[in-house]
Structure 1
Amino acid sequence: MKKTIAGVDIPDGVMAQAATDLIRGTESELMFHHALRAFLFAALTGYRENLTFDAQLLYVGAMFHNVGLNAKYERSPYRFEVDGANAARDFLRRHGVAEREIEEVWVGIALHTTPGIPEHLSALVALISAGVQMDVRGARYDEFTAHQRDEIVQAYPRESGFKKKLIEAYAHGMEHRPETTFGTVNADVLDRWDPNYRRLNFCGLVLGSDWPN
């Protein structure tokens, strides 16, 4: 039986169910519920703005957007968003999804922490970011009804201390690769988390480059 929350049907096809099983088995309940809420807020945004999008691809994008924070990638040199995007790409290829659609999901995951860009790309890319940003920092919070927010949180709770626990999860997923936070909101996470972290400064990189002038 299809599950509907806040007027949004949770995708339940073979691929969506495989994504659900994979993420539920590899992420904490806190992060799993975060991914589900991100999908629901993303879909509601799409409905409200009359956007055309593939709900199953949006679901996979939401499910995989934080995969790169997992312990599996503790030695990765890449941005966690890229690790998650690559994992989603591999998953989608196993399920025979067209490369054009795979690329769209990849971009959506890779850019979900980069403000000011996703909303100018495809609906799917924009919605992955919008759903995540709503659940993480309450972006466009008042554009959702209290009933929608309450129904989503009742189905997939924000556990006590969610805000601080989420920041901690981000920090643990990036503390071994601090240089990858340059140019994104991720630098703010390590700046708050690690007293020894020193963020890169673009002006410093320009002025300190090997160019003579």
Structure 2
Amino acid sequence: MSDIIAGICVPDSAIARAATQLVRDTEDDLIYNHSRRVFLWGALTGERHGLKYDPELLYLGAMFHDMGLTEKYSSPDLRFEVDGANAARDFLKSYGVPERAVDDVWTAIALHTTPGIPEHMRPTIALVTAGVEMDVLGVDYHEFTQEQRDHVCVHHPREKNFKENIIEHFANGIVRKPLTTFGNVKADVLALKDKNFVRQNFCSIIFGSAWPN
């Protein structure tokens, strides 16, 4: 039987259960609870705005969105978001999910740290980012009722020092490939956590290119 949290029915299909188990086996409690909250905030956002979204696809996007931070799914040179998106794509294809749906989940995960774009795209893509932004940044915090916030966090607690610990998780997942943070928000994480990090500069790259003028 599906859980109902803050009025949202958590998907309980075979693929959703398998995704949940994979995340439980791969990620720690902080990322697991964060991922479940991302789904719930995203679904609540969709309900509030009257969007027609596929709860199962939203759930899969939320559950896989940080998989690229884990050692098992981290590549040497791709953005962690792309690693997570690739893991989700392989998983969904193994269940025969249609290509368009796979593409939406892939894009939702790949763009979830690129603000200003996902919100203009299809609901799965927009709502994964909305859920992430609520849980990590507190975006639209006051658009959720106190009852909704409390009910979600009773079922999936924000552990003590969550803000510090989620930044630490981000840093641990990307510190070995700092060039992948160019042009995205994760450069701020390494600037805080890695004293040897040198932020790339877009204008310096232009001036240093092989073009003569």
Please give the range of the TM-score, normalised by the shorter of the 2 chains: over 0.9
Q: Secondary structure at the match of 2:72?
A: helix
Identical amino acids, percent of aligned pairs:
54
Q: Matches of 2:122 and 2:205 in 1, distance apart?
A: 32
Q: How does 1:4-83 map to 2 (within 5 A)?
A: 4-83=4-83
TM-score (norm 1): 0.98
* 2:139 alignment counterpart: 139
Q: Confirm or deny: 8 A CA contact 1:74 1:176 kept in the other structure.
A: no
Q: CA deviation at 1:188?
A: 0.5
Q: Matches of 2:2 and 2:38 in 1, distance apart?
A: 19
Which stretches in structure 2 are left out of the alignment for 5+ residues? Answer: none
Q: CA RMSD, aligned part only?
A: 0.8
TM-score (norm 2): 0.98
Deviations 1:104-143 (A, max 9, x none): 1000000000010001111110001000110001011111
Q: How many residues were matched structurally? A: 213
Q: Matches of 1:12 and 1:2 in 2, distance apart?
A: 5
Which stretches in structure 1 are left out of the alignment for 5+ residues? Answer: none
* 2:84 alignment counterpart: 84
Deviations 1:38-68 (A, max 9, x none): 0000000000000011100100000000000
Q: Matches of 1:207 and 1:75 in 2, distance apart?
A: 30
Q: CA deviation at 1:75?
A: 4.8
Aligned residue type for 1:196: N
Q: Confirm or deny: 8 A CA contact 1:75 1:176 kept in the other structure.
A: no
Q: Confirm or deny: 8 A CA contact 1:33 1:158 kept in the other structure.
A: yes
